[in-house]
Amino acid sequence: MLSLWNSGWSGFDEMFSAMSQLRNYMDRVFEDAAGGRTWPGSALSAFRSTWPKANLSDTGKTLTLTAEVPGLSEKDIQVNLNQDVLTLSGERTVETPEGYSTHRQERPAVQFSRSYTLPCRVSPERASATVKNGILTVTLEKAADAMPRQISVKSA
């Protein structure tokens, strides 16, 4: 302990770094013990607010959102469109088959909801969503007034 005081501020830095690492470790222990429930600001809480991972691309006439949803089927996912906000929500449950017991569980049950603000207006009646091989694809046709237009140039 004497060396901590004799080393100046670097000793404090090392001590606080070790305390921070211990806090992060204890957060993970308590999150695991609580069945995946998290407190705001914890690492797992941040993960759930950014899951599922998604890409949003613009083809000119449509917007396409692809999201990774491993282990989920069409019954587990809800897709809602409210004006210019697309919301994905759902739940993955974990069930042990009858007659078996769980020895290790690394993929916990999870509920999620994530919203994406769209860059333009879309036609909700022409929207579609499919899920295949753990990838959700949402296709949104742009509204007529949001589509790019070619303007012809004339000489004066």
> What is the tens place of the pLDDT at every residue in 47-96?
455 678 999 999 989 999 999 998 899 999 999 999 899 999 998 888 88
**Reported confidence tier of residue 103, pLDDT bands at 50, 70, 90:** confident
Q: Which whole number is the average pLDDT over 118-139?
A: 94
**pLDDT given at position 144:** 84
pLDDT of residue 7: 54
pLDDT above 80 for 11 = no
DSSP string, the chain: -HHHHHTTHHHHHHHHHHHHHHHHHHHHHHHHHTTT---TTSHHHHHHHT-S-EEEEE-SSEEEEEEE-TT--GGGEEEEEETTEEEEEEEE---PPTT---S---S--EEEEEEEE-SS-B-GGG-EEEEETTEEEEEEEBPGGGS---------
Is the pTM higher than 0.95?
A: no
pLDDT, average across residues 14-23: 80
The structural domains of the chain, ordered by start, are 2-44 (no CATH), 53-95+108-146 (2.60.40.790)
